[in-house]
Each structure stands twice: as structure tokens, then as C-alpha cells.
């Protein structure tokens, strides 16, 4: 796994963790322990996403600020996979 793949993998793992925590917190909105986990992983994920977008391509529109070429369109299509 190269650096790009590893970073994407880590973002995927972190985002999945955050979705799971969010679904739990939706019905347990006063669970401060779960909230601490959410805040912790969300900070790491946000930073990793910014870094990935800076080096490779923007994963979300809010990270797609561009100069010469519109970077949002330069990203590979997610459904093609790495073997594509």
C-alpha cells in the first residue's frame, strides 16, 4: 500500500468510526464519554482529509479550492477501484 492508499484507508477507518459514534450519539445525546471519542477522532480525520486534499485531490467540495485546473474534477472516480 503506498502513501496515498494508506491515507485513504485511514480516512475510511476514521470516518466509519465517526459515523458509528454519530449514530449512537443520535439517541444518546448526553453520553459525554462517546462524545469525547467523537471529538478526538473527528479532529484527526479533519486534519488527514486536509492533508490528503493538499497532496493528492480534494475528497469534498469544500476542499477543492483551485488555481490553474479545477481540482474537483481531477479526482479519480471512486467506483473504478485501483485495478481499473
Partner 1 sequence: MQEIKFDDHCEQFPVAMAYVPWQRFDKMYEDLEKAYCIGTIFPELNKPFTGRRCVS
Partner 2 sequence: MWSYEKRLQFPVNIKEPNAKLAQVIISQFGGPDGELAASMRYLSQRYSMPYKEVAGLLTDIGTEELAHLEMIGAIVHQLTRNLSMEEIEKSGFDKYYVDHTVGVWPQAAGGIPFNACEFQVKGDIITDLVEDMAADGTTA
C-alpha cell at 47: 486534519
Measured from the CB atom, the residue of 23 and 74 that comes closer to partner 1 is 23
Contact call for residue 1 and partner 1 (CB under 8 A): no
The site that binds partner 1 (CB under 8 A) totals a number of residues, namely: 16
Instruction: Report how far residue 34's alpha carbon sits from residue 40's, in angstroms, rounded to the nearest whole number.
Output: 10
Residues 18/42, Cβ–Cβ less than 8 Å:
yes
By a kind-dependent CB cut-off of 5 to 8 A, residue 2 interacts, out of partner 1, partner 2, none, with none
Q: Write the DSSP symbol of residue 64.
A: -
Contact call for residue 28 and partner 1 (CB under 8 A): yes
Tell me which of 8, 14, 45, 59 binds partner 1, using CB under 8 A.
Answer: 14
Measured from the CB atom, the residue of 28 and 40 that comes closer to partner 2 is 28
Measured from the CB atom, the residue of 73 and 81 that comes closer to partner 1 is 81
Q: How far is CA 47 from CA 2, 9, 63, in A?
A: 19, 14, 12
Amino acid at each position: 500500500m503506498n502513501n496515498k492508499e494508506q491515507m485513504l484507508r485511514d480516512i475510511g477507518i476514521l470516518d466509519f468510526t465517526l459515523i458509528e459514534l454519530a449514530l449512537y450519539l443520535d439517541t444518546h445525546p448526553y453520553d459525554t464519554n462517546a462524545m469525547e471519542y467523537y471529538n478526538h477522532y473527528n479532529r484527526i480525520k479533519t486534519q488527514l482529509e486536509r492533508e490528503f486534499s493538499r497532496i493528492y485531490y480534494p475528497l469534498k467540495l469544500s476542499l477543492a479550492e483551485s488555481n490553474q485546473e479545477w481540482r474537483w474534477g481531477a479526482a479519480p472516480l471512486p467506483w473504478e477501484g485501483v485495478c481499473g
